[in-house]
Amino acid sequence: MGDYIELTGMEFYGYHGCLEEEREKGQSFFVDLVMRLDLSAAGRTDDLEKTVNYASVFACVREIVEGEPKRLIEAVAEAVAEQLLRDFPLLSGLRVTVHKPSAPITGKFRDVAVSIERARA
């Protein structure tokens, strides 16, 4: 059991991919986050300083996904996890899912996604 903050369906436009066309044209990426932290102090005090400001988290994720292109969405997820753990010391762990619904696959599919879980060392 634990406490969590979730941000789901964050949409950004990025230029990640192995193919030259993906890196030139770009595409939409969706990110879901589940952040683990103790929310008891925030709940008792109603104090934003006792939790993680999810607007700041959103801005951090946007900077990464809309920033420097990477070949793999695995690398995008890892960059998000590393940055959030570095910038938000109240986080004890998180799960990052990066969705690439327009992946260059011949055939019918709804989504391609990777999920990683990382914890503070």
- Per residue in 79-96, pLDDT tens? 999 999 999 999 999 999
What is the model's pLDDT at position 105? 86
Q: pTM score, two decimals?
A: 0.94
Domain boundaries, the chain: 4-119
Contacts 24+ apart (CB under 8 A), 69-74: 69/14, 69/15, 69/16, 69/17, 69/23, 70/16, 71/16, 71/17, 71/18, 72/16, 72/18, 73/16, 73/29, 73/98, 73/100, 73/112, 73/113, 73/114, 74/114, 74/116
- pLDDT value at 2 more than 90: no
What is the model's pLDDT at position 1? 64
- Per residue in 13-41, pLDDT tens? 999 999 999 999 999 999 999 999 999 99
Residue 17 to residue 29: CA distance in whole angstroms: 11
Please give the positions annotated as active site.
100
Which of the following CATH numbers is that of domain 4-119: 1.10.357.10, 3.30.1130.10, 1.20.120.1200, 3.40.50.2300? Answer: 3.30.1130.10
